Structure 1
Amino acid sequence: MLIRAASSGSAFASPRAGTPERMSAASLRSGARPAVRRMAARPWPRAAMAGFAGVAGALGLAPWGAWWLTLPAILLLLVLRRHDATRGGAFLTGWAFAAGWFGLGLSWIVEPFFVDAARDGWMAPFAVVLLCGGLALFWGAVFALAHRRSAALLVALWVAAEMARGVVFTGFPWAMPGHVFIGTPVAQLAALGGAPLLTLITLGLPAVALSIGRSLWLAVPALACAGAWVMLDPGPAPAPSPDAPLVRLVQPNAVQSLKWDPDWAPVFHDRLMSLTAEGPVPDLVVWPETALPWLLDQSEAALAEGVAAARGAPLALGIQRREAARYYNSAIVVDGKGRIASLYDKTHLVPFGEYIPFGEAAARFGIHGLAASEGGGYTPGPGLHPVAVPGIGLALPLICYEGIFAREINAAAAIGALRPRLMLLMTNDAWFGTLSGPYQHFAQARLRAIEQRMPMARVANTGVSGMIDAQGRVTAQIGLDETGALDAALPPRGAAPAYARWGDGPMISALLLLGLAAMRRNLLDRGRVGA
């Protein structure tokens, strides 16, 4: 139930074979092919074509969702790599495709720097170039290593590089190729192998199509995707159980540039309270990340007001807290009597956002964490862990960025009696702008729900907020830049799937086998050529 929401007749004969028109068209096509080949044979024109393909491929990501452009874009890239004469040329082709992919897919990365443009705006161009160009090094290295090797080895190395990208330098598993299938039935396979399996499918389909030959290559991705649609489609979400807990998701829509303004803080605070107090009493109320503009030890009155507005329901919210000289980005659960029942400190902090390496030294040069008020930023907590929510059971709290790290969620979402009833994600996506960042972040939340077969209640300051069931279906949602509260029934939790039980282990083994088989095939082919 949405309590309140408001949003900021002639015909033409075709020429017969042999006519001048037909011959002219045929000659144009035959003349164009050598020209394209000549372009593909030169490193920089080939890189430009690869970059264009990367931009087209990234349109498969949210919010565009054009996965059907991603597959032919990768196919074009695989054709282009056949013209790489040197390992350096292969690196350039792979890097250019990745630069185009990340340049569009991560274009939202400039948004945080313009919240306080006077202080941080100068860093925006460097962030785009360094981040996109740096991430592209992973793909460039893959293409260099797989130079003059089979497409199977290339795909195995590419998927492995994407898995490494989620770990190296604290990790950034955003805009993975497999993410283009989020929101489609193919995404259900993430319950078996997570985003790496989806990435293997995304890269493998064009590679298989290319290896079959010219006559059938178009049919392979189409038939594979059509079969997956039929077999994997979970259908619409069922009606909620009458006794399902009712969770109120509160989206205050506090504009980031005004969120900490002393004149606006009471406005956003009153908005939280009124949205919490309206309508029937839920079983749980959830506020977003840093919902209150004060530290925990300064928020006694505000929390008491929130407890009163919740009318006995437990209240989960994000809040900053201080312990001695350390600051934490935290989440707390307050019971119906105003007592803090659970506390969680965010563990996986955003580099250059919530902390700056060597922060105090960097502060002397005017470099600060975008989301932190201190030079050194926040202190990480001891690790992800479930917390108790009165009347609901165990919940796995996730604060913003932590929702993109499937491996860490796997480690925290225990199997058996300690398996959480739901994931509880509190975030402030106002930093991400309004074009693509918030939608991509929300899409990854859907993927986490599938991987764990566990519902997720996701509350974002400015959106997108929603309830996601164990199949990744959105059962209730408040849109971007809307102010409102939504009562959503908590969907049932499913049994722990293969990915939740075994994580990336099976995928790593599969990639090793695929890589070894491809290397053996390459050696055999070389032996036949030498004979």
Structure 2
Amino acid sequence: MERLAGRILLLGGWRRSGLAVLAGAIGALAMPPFGVFAAMFVSFTLLVWLLDGLTGDPERSGTLNLRAAFLTGWLFGLGYFVAGLWWLGNALLVDASGFAWAIPLAVLGLPALLAIFYGVAAMLARLVWSDGMGRIAALALGFGLTEWLRATIATGFPWNAIGYAAMPVPLMMQSSYVLGLFGVTALSVFVFAAPALLGTRRGAVPGLTLAVLLSAAHFGYGAWRLHLAPPEIGEERQVSIRLVQPNIDQAQKMENADRVGVFEKHLALTSAAPAAGHQRPDVIVWPETSVPFILTENPDALVRIGDVLQDGQVLITGAVRAEERGAGLPPRYYNSIYLIDDKGQILAASDKVHLTPFGEYLPFEDLLRRFGIEELISLPGGFSPAASRSPLTLPSGLSFYPLICYEAIFPGELAPDLAGANAIINITNDAWFGATPGPYQHFLQSRLRAVERGVPLIRDANNGISAVTDSYGQVVDGLALNISGAIDATIGMPTVPKRNSFDHNLNFWLVLGVLGFVASISRLGFIRRMN
């Protein structure tokens, strides 16, 4: 490996740039649906060696070194995000005549912006770069901080955060219960980059030893939580959930030509007899914006729902909600989730708080509309965001914490105690993205929110992936992508809502503090003297 590392350190020009892009693209293979876990080790090892190469030119000033580090990190990020998010262009093909022109912006423009965070991560790492293990800690510090910033700045977009590569299966998801997504992300970068130490031999023993210990703790804690942890405190209530996955083509939904047919398909799947071995469902769930009417303006639709539901059953469904604003003003529209009982009465509702830019609303609206740019979902004025999120309390006393669509990718969208909810419910419509990696990536990120908080997840998607998972991220039952049907799953929920006592934000900053300490003392030469 020393010979390979040496060759990479000496690369220049387009070869260096091309390898940086390739290294990032290789890392994207670790994300669903591929799940090539080892790809991240290759990706970050190459990145470390590329950054090492910036120290080899004595004529390059410190400022130029930082600029070169930023460019290397940016190119790495460009490769990662183009390879991992190319499928966003598929959403623009649903209405190709109106939006196909924007495909380069989605496939290349957005990745170029997101890559800025990775450029900053590499530049921050270079500020405390040193020989041996310290530079690995510096890189983990830079990426941990900038991944957190990526989830925060300008409404945030933490899709495919590096930490997800370290949590592809329930055994490897449990560390997020203690550290949260961003704590796991920072430590994951340290582990992924550790093989780079074999290429220079400096700091290899302490660095690789620490990486092995972190990996052992990651797997060991997962095994303990899944197999040896004590049972839940308090008696569990068994709840039967039916997930309706109609698999309605997105173009058909947008045309609104057969709204009655779409509505009746949902009702037919709702009223189907339970599969053998399953009891009658207590709760039926429809996906995001599945009701093709404004429910409050269509009492007949509520009557039909009440007729289909059996005694004691409730329906949770996504629908557009309209709020009148007075004479001469268009209504405000909200992307909402409703709780409806067997009499067709709306018992509770909650509106989406974190809207999707360019999908549900138009940033810089006045400016962009002058150029004829519209949001994908065409409503007068677009959707409006809700000021707060309200849990849905069922007649049984159980409470579900609602996340609509991509709200589930934001750890910060969940209240620390979930407002006393017994489970997370996530409804979405990923039909925009077709048979691409998008729905698989979205499903993994939704599962991690349940593990972080230690509660079950109920997730219903128009075309999949729909599933019920327990509080450890293990799938109880589900429906695969692009399948039309309904499944019944029974899940146990503690009668007393569970609260995760770990402060993820505090633990994340503690992790960054430790990494910063290691990077700093290495920069000062203390660790080098130990080797």
TM tier relative to shorter chain: 0.7 to 0.9
Shift of 1:434: 1.4
What aligned pairs does 1:77-116 form with structure 2 within 5 A after superposition?
77-85=47-55, 86-116=65-95
User: What SS class does the counterpart of residue 174 from structure 2 fall into?
Assistant: helix
Contact 1:156 1:511 in 2 (8 A): yes
User: What SS class does the counterpart of residue 492 from structure 2 fall into?
Assistant: coil
Aligned counterparts of 1:235 and 1:32: Cα–Cα separation in 2: 40
Partner of 2:404: 399
User: What SS class does the counterpart of residue 51 from structure 1 fall into?
Assistant: helix
Give per-residue Cα distances to partners, 1:87-124, cap 9 Å, x unaligned.
Answer: 22111111111111111111111111111000011011
Partner of 2:58: none
What aligned pairs does 1:331-370 form with structure 2 within 5 A after superposition?
331-359=337-365, 361-370=367-376
Aligned counterparts of 1:450 and 1:30: Cα–Cα separation in 2: 40
Aligned counterparts of 1:177 and 1:428: Cα–Cα separation in 2: 24
Contact 1:385 1:412 in 2 (8 A): no
Contact 1:93 1:140 in 2 (8 A): yes
1:311 equivalenced with 2:315 (yes/no): no
Aligned counterparts of 2:210 and 2:512: Cα–Cα separation in 1: 22
Give per-residue Cα distances to partners, 1:75-98, cap 9 Å, x unaligned.
Answer: 121122100142221111111111
Q: Which letter does structure 1 place at the counterpart of 2:408?
A: G
Partner of 1:425: 426
Q: Could you tell me which of 160, 177, 184 is aligned with 2:162? A: 177
Aligned counterparts of 1:70 and 1:197: Cα–Cα separation in 2: 17
Aligned counterparts of 2:490 and 2:41: Cα–Cα separation in 1: 37
Change (3 A) 1:63 1:268: same
Aligned counterparts of 1:32 and 1:412: Cα–Cα separation in 2: 50
Partner of 2:222: 232
Give per-residue Cα distances to partners, 1:15-38, cap 9 Å, x unaligned.
Answer: xxxxxxxxxxxxxx9998865553
Partner of 2:20: 50
Change (3 A) 1:367 1:38: same
Shift of 1:221: 5.6
Partner of 1:20: none
Partner of 1:482: 483
Unaligned stretches of 5+ residues in structure 1: 1-28
Aligned counterparts of 1:237 and 1:377: Cα–Cα separation in 2: 49
Shift of 1:412: 6.4
Aligned counterparts of 2:242 and 2:80: Cα–Cα separation in 1: 37
Contact 2:463 2:481 in 1 (8 A): yes
Give per-residue Cα distances to partners, 1:494-526, cap 9 Å, x unaligned.
Answer: 842344xx2312211331343244224423569
Q: Which letter does structure 1 place at the counterpart of 2:73?
A: G
Shift of 1:291: 0.8
User: What SS class does the counterpart of residue 241 from structure 2 fall into?
Assistant: strand
What aligned pairs does 1:186-265 form with structure 2 within 5 A after superposition?
186-211=172-197, 214=201, 225=215, 228-233=218-223, 244-265=238-259
My pick for the range that moved more, 379-388 or 458-467, is 379-388
Shift of 1:347: 0.5
Partner of 2:100: 121
Change (3 A) 1:385 1:107: same
Q: Could you tell me which of 380, 385, 388 is aligned with 2:390? A: 385
User: What SS class does the counterpart of residue 481 from structure 1 fall into?
Assistant: coil
1:68 equivalenced with 2:38 (yes/no): yes
Q: Could you tell me which of 496, 499, 506 is aligned with 2:499? A: 496
Aligned counterparts of 2:365 and 2:6: Cα–Cα separation in 1: 55
Partner of 2:29: 59
Change (3 A) 1:109 1:260: closer
Contact 2:10 2:53 in 1 (8 A): no
Give per-residue Cα distances to partners, 1:419-446, cap 9 Å, x unaligned.
Answer: 2111111111111221100000000111
Change (3 A) 1:108 1:175: same
Change (3 A) 1:158 1:336: same
Q: Which letter does structure 2 place at the counterpart of 1:274?
A: A
Q: Which letter does structure 2 place at the counterpart of 1:187?
A: M
Percent identity, please: 33
Shift of 1:372: 3.7
Contact 1:173 1:405 in 2 (8 A): yes
Give per-residue Cα distances to partners, 1:362-412, cap 9 Å, x unaligned.
Answer: 3343211112423x3111011123121222511101110111111121346
Aligned counterparts of 1:192 and 1:498: Cα–Cα separation in 2: 9
Partner of 2:508: 507
Q: Which letter does structure 2 place at the counterpart of 1:380?
A: P
Shift of 1:126: 1.3
User: What SS class does the counterpart of residue 195 from structure 1 fall into?
Assistant: helix
RMSD: 2.9
Aligned counterparts of 2:192 and 2:306: Cα–Cα separation in 1: 55
Partner of 2:327: none
Partner of 2:443: 442
Give per-residue Cα distances to partners, 1:243-299, cap 9 Å, x unaligned.
Answer: 611111101111001113343322221210111011143111111110111122333
Change (3 A) 1:76 1:427: same
Contact 2:240 2:281 in 1 (8 A): yes
User: What SS class does the counterpart of residue 246 from structure 1 fall into?
Assistant: strand
Change (3 A) 1:124 1:284: same
Partner of 2:297: 298
